[in-house]
Structure 1
Amino acid sequence: MSAFIQQLPALIGVVIGALGSYLAIVRGDRARFDRERVVRWEEQRYTVYVDWARALKQTITLNYRVAAHLGNDPHPHPLSAEDAEPLMTQAQIDRDPYGEALILLGSPAVVDRAQEWVSTVMAMEAFLREARRDPEGWQALLDRQRTGRQRYYAAVREDLSLPTGHSGRWPAAPTG
C-alpha cells in the first residue's frame, strides 16, 4: 500500500494533465469552429450584398437607357420604353431572390440602406413610365440614386469591417 501512496501524486498529476490537455483541445477546437463560422457567414453576406447590388444595377442601367431615349440622359445606347419593358421585368425577377437573401442575411443597417436605394430606383422607373422629358428632374433622381448607392456601400463596408472605399461618383463624360 505504501508504494501506491508514493505513486498517488504522480497518478493525480497525470490525470490532471490529461484533463487539462483535453480541456485545452476542446476550447481550441471550439474557438476555431466559432472563427470559421464567422468567416463563413461574412463570406455569405458579402456575396449577397454584391449580388443584390449587381442585380439592382441592371435595372439602373436600363433606366439610364430609357431616359436617354426620352432625352433626359446622355447614355450612348438609348432604348425605348417598349423595348425595355421585358428587360425591366426580367431584371426585377432576377433581383427578387437576391432581395430575399439580403433580408435574411443582411444587417439591419444594410437592409435599410438597400431599401432607400431601391426606393429611389423605383422613383426613377415611375418618372420614366410617365415619359417625362425633364433633364433637371432626372438629374435630381440620379443624384438621389448615387447617394443611395454610396450609403448602401458605406453600410456594407461597416458591416463587413472593410476600409472606407471610393464614393463611386465618376465625372460625367463630356457630351458633344
Structure 2
Amino acid sequence: MGLTGQLATLLGVAVGAVLSMATTMIVERARWRREQSVRWDERRLSAYAEYAHAVKELAHRYRRIAVAKGIAASGAAPLEPTDEVLAEVAEAEVQRSALAETVWMLGDVRTNTAAVRLNHCLWHLEWLARGLPTREQGGWDQAYAEFRQARQRFLELARVGLGVRGTRVAESVPWPPPWKNDLSQTAHGGRAGSGQAGG
C-alpha cells in the first residue's frame, strides 16, 4: 500500500473516530437532558400537588369558620374561630406561603400566574370569614365559586405544564350527587362544595 493509501486509511479512521465521539456526545447530552427534565417534572408535580392541597385545606377551614359565623350556608361542620383555631389557621397559611414559593421557583409563567390568582381568591375567603371589609358585593357564595374556578384553572395549567394529556374527567359529573341532600350533608358534617374529585 502506497503512502497515499496509508494516509487515506488513517484519515478514514480519524474521521470515523471523530464521528463516533460526536455521536456519543450527542446521545449522552440528550440522555442527560431527558433525565433532568424528568427530575424537574417530578419536583414540579410534588410542588403543585402540595400547594394545591394546602390551599384546599385552608379554604375548607375558612368555610367552616364562615358557617360558624352564619356567613356561609351549612354544608361543612362549623368551626368556632377561637384563639387556638386562628393560630392553627395562621400556621397553615405560613405553610401555604412556603409551598407557593416553591411553585414560583419551579413553575412556568402561566401556572405561576394562576397560583397568584388562586392566592387572591383564598385571601378573599379569609377576609370574609374573619368579617373584614372588602369591596366585593357578591358575598361568600360568589367568592367561594371564584375560588373553586381559580383552583381548577391552576390545576389545569399545572397539568399542561407537566405534559399530562387529556382532561381531568371524561365528562361533567354533577355536584352534589343525586343521592346527597341537605339532610345527609348535615347528618354527616358534609363537605358540599369541597367538590368533585379533587374539588
**Structure 2 match to 1:165:** 168
Measured in 1, the distance between the counterparts of 2:173 and 2:157 equals 17
Matches of 1:169 and 1:76 in 2, distance apart?
21
Structure 1 position 12, deviation (Å): 1.7
- Partner residue, 2:187: none
Aligned residues: 172
> Cα 1:68–1:170, aligned 2, differ >3 Å: closer, same or farther?
farther
Match of 2:141 in 1: 139
Alignment of 1:59-74 (within 5 A): 59-71=58-70, 72-74=72-74
- Report SS of the residue matched to 1:90: helix
What percent identity do the matched residue pairs reach?
26
Flag the structure with higher helix content. Answer: 1
Partners of 1:131 and 1:84 in 2: CA distance: 17
The alpha-carbon distance between structure 1 residues 64 and 168, as it changes in their structure 2 partners (threshold 3 A), is: farther
Counterparts of 1:109 and 1:131 in 2: how far apart (Å)? Answer: 30
Contact 1:48 1:102 in 2 (8 A): yes
TM-score w.r.t. length of structure 1: 0.86
**Counterpart for residue 75 of structure 1:** 75
TM-score for the superposition, normalised by structure 2:
0.77
Q: 1:27 to 1:131 in 2, by over 3 A?
A: closer
> Could you tell me which residue of structure 2 aligns to residue 88 of structure 1?
89
1:29-71 deviations in whole A, cap 9, x for unaligned? 1111112112222222111111111111121111121122123
- 8 A Cα contact 2:118 2:154, kept in partner: yes
Deviations 1:68-118, CA, capped at 9 Å, x for gaps: 212323234211012530221111121121111111111111111111111
Deviation of 1:8 after TM superposition, in Å, equals 2.4
**Considering only aligned residues, what root-mean-square deviation do their CA atoms show, in Å?**
2.4
Which amino acid in 1 is paired with 2:10?
L
The aligned runs of 1:25-40 (5 Å cut-off) are: 25-40=24-39
Q: What code does the residue aligned with 1:175 have?
A: D
Alpha-carbon distance in structure 2 between the residues aligned to 1:130 and 1:48: 31
